[in-house]
Amino acid sequence: MSHADLDAEILAIGRDLASAFPKASRRPLKALDDKAMDLASADADLKAALFRFVDVVPACRNLDDLARHLTGFLSEVEDHPPPIKAAMKMGNSKAGRTALGAASAAGVKHMAHRFIVGETPKDALPAFRQLWKRGILTSVDLLGEATITSAEAERYAQRCHDALDQLGAADKDPNLSVKITALTPLLKPDAPERGKQDAAPRVRALLQHAKEVGAHLHIDMESLDTREAVTDLVLELLAEPEFQDGPSAGVVLQAYLRDAGDLLDTILAGPRREHPLVIRLVKGAYWDHEVVDARQHGWSVPVFEEKAESDRLFESLTVRLLEARPLVKPAIASHNLRSVSHAIAQNRRLGAADDEVEFQVLRGLGDDLQDALAARGFKVRTYCPVGDLVAGMAYLVRRLLENTSNESFLLEMQNGADLERLLAAP
């Protein structure tokens, strides 16, 4: 297939998927959320103020405290738009602060529930069942950032075991995503082996449990400073004889990292098993952290600083993963219609059926694309965070940052950008 033919196929696929997106009128609350996102993305100071507020919400003691924090952050924003002026005026009286505190608490809770399905897998089961009825698979992410103590790591591990039991009993395709940094407090860049040794028993027990209940266990990637240790740990454990015939397991490949291709080489040279390793290809969610951390230390920035560069590598890695089957099972995780359409076109170019590649989206961000893919018969899985608001705050802020980025494909599409331009090669 020539480049011209491929581009024409991608454009046709993209247009077809776009036509299958749900109409905005069917989701009035989402439309209101999108307007709020537009307001935040238009002003960097306002976005910073709102995100600082979201971050402190769990620590606020009462409604008055919430209102004082909100108006304090907003006071640093210049040229207040009308909604901000109204909020500032409400903060001038006790009754106003009570009303503002209640409204802001409800707003943050509503926004959190757009991304976070429930506090426990059991709470989230009704939402999961609604997705399953529509032919949409799920992967449960138990929210929890890096642990500080061994007791915290044990509690997170127990939550994972409980989730595997609940999902195994309820779902024909149970799928759980976990973070190694939540399973050990010792995973540090300057002593990776110590962290691996501490995490290994907990990860091994989870693999054993996943095998027992017939679940898939996916290991998430976080910042670059833990990537090598996490990759080595997973590959070493999966090479152990007891895991040769299961469970299904997977890792994540982050295309915004300049050396992602090298990591894929390492993964492809890993152990051969009856269950092919699932590789979830993502752009990456820690861009701000990686850039700031590198500049503070005087290092070369490890991530692409131009979106088009990471988009191009994402497409290159997509082809490599599709061509590496059956050694691996690709899971293409993107909300970018061009990236998804490119994967569909390349999969067809290789003569594979449409259901031989899985697409993944994030709850709250990829809902429209998820529905469009399911409507067209593609295999799609939604990554569903589960946990309380405090545990999920870092996740929530990352998702809000992603959704309000000036380079966000979702934001551009929502604002009516020309579809042919959005589907052009990066």
Could you write out the DSSP letters of every residue in 329-374?
Answer: EEEEE---HHHHHHHHHHHHHTT--GGGSEEEEETTTSHHHHHHHH
Complete DSSP assignment for 71-91: HHHHTT-SS--HHHHHHHHHT
**Range from 164-168, 180-184, 394-398 carrying the lowest mean pLDDT:** 394-398
Per-residue pLDDT band for 258 (boundaries 50, 70, 90) equals very high
Instruction: Find the angle CA(75)-CA(79)-CA(82) to the nearest 5 degrees.
Output: 85
Burial of 117 (0-12, 13-18, 19+ CB in 10 A): buried
Contact yes or no for 20/371 (Cβ under 8 A): yes
Q: Is the pLDDT of residue 94 over 90?
A: no
DSSP state of 275: S
**Span 276-334, pLDDT tens digits:** 999 999 998 777 778 888 898 889 999 999 989 999 999 999 999 999 999 999 999 99
CA distance linking residue 189 with residue 348, whole number of Å: 41
Both tokens of residue 252? 């994540």
Q: Report which DSSP code applies to 148.
A: S
For residues 21 and 372, give the distance between their C-alpha atoms in angstroms, rounded to a whole number. Answer: 5
Structural domain includes residue 173 = yes
Residues 172 and 283 in one domain: yes
91 and 149 housed in the same domain: no
For residue 70, is it within any domain? yes
What is the crossing angle of helices 94-115 and 63-74, to 10°?
80
- Residue 418's pLDDT is 82
Confidence band for 393, pLDDT divided at 50, 70 and 90: low
Mean pLDDT of 249-257: 96
> pLDDT by residue (tens digit) across 13-59?
999 999 999 876 455 555 555 555 555 555 666 666 666 666 676 66
Residue with more model confidence, 56 or 139 = 139
Tokens representing 381 are: 């899985």
Whether 24 is in a domain gets the answer: no
Which segments of 143-289 are extended strands (E)?
Answer: 175-179, 216-220, 249-254, 277-282
Q: Does the pLDDT value for residue 183 go beyond 90?
A: yes
> Domain check: are 313 and 387 in the same one?
yes
- 343-349 LR contacts (CB < 8 Å, sep 24+): 343/318, 344/13, 344/378, 345/6, 345/9, 345/10, 345/13, 346/6, 346/318, 346/319, 346/322, 347/322, 348/9, 349/1, 349/6
Asked if 73 contacts 57 with a C-beta cutoff of 8 angstroms, the reply is no
- For residue 88, is it within any domain? yes
Pair (338, 396) in one structural domain: yes
Q: Are residues 286 and 343 in the same domain?
A: yes
Note the pLDDT of residue 249: 97
- State phi, psi for 424 to the nearest 5 degrees: -75, 155
pLDDT (tens digit, 9 = 90+) per residue, 65-82? Answer: 777 776 776 677 666 666
DSSP character at residue 215: -
**359: β partners:** 332, 380
Inside any domain, residue 5? no
Mean per-residue pLDDT over the chain, rounded:
85
Note the pLDDT of residue 327. 94
Last residue of a domain, one of 113, 140, 155: 113
Q: Is residue 77 part of a domain?
A: yes
Task: Say how many domains are in the chain.
Answer: 2
304 lies in which domain range? 117-422
Predicted pLDDT at 287: 78
Look up residue 124 and give its amino acid. Answer: A
- In a domain, residue 336? The reply is yes
Classify residue 299: in a domain, yes or no: yes
Band (pLDDT 50/70/90 cuts) for residue 126 is very high
Q: Of 113, 134, 169, which marks where a domain is finished? A: 113
Quick one: which of 315, 317, 332 has its CA closest to 381? 332
Coil, strand or helix at 219: strand
96 and 62 in a common domain: yes
Distance CA 339, CA 400 (A): 21
Contact 331, 250 (CB under 8 A): yes
| 61 and 158 share one domain | no
* pLDDT for residue 370: 96
Residue whose token pair is 């449960």: 140
| Partners of 282 in beta bridges | 254
**Could you tell me the CATH number of the domain that includes residue 174?**
3.20.20.220
**Which residue did the predictor score with more confidence, 3 or 197?**
197
Report how far residue 176's alpha carbon sits from residue 384's, in angstroms, rounded to the nearest whole number: 10
Whether 108 and 225 share a structural domain = no
Same domain, 93 and 122: no
- Please check whether residues 95 and 161 belong to one and the same domain: no
Q: Which of 78, 94, 113 is the last residue of a domain?
A: 113
Question: Closest by alpha carbon to 332, among 379, 371, 374, 376?
Answer: 379
In a shared domain, residues 102 and 134? no
Same domain, 163 and 109: no
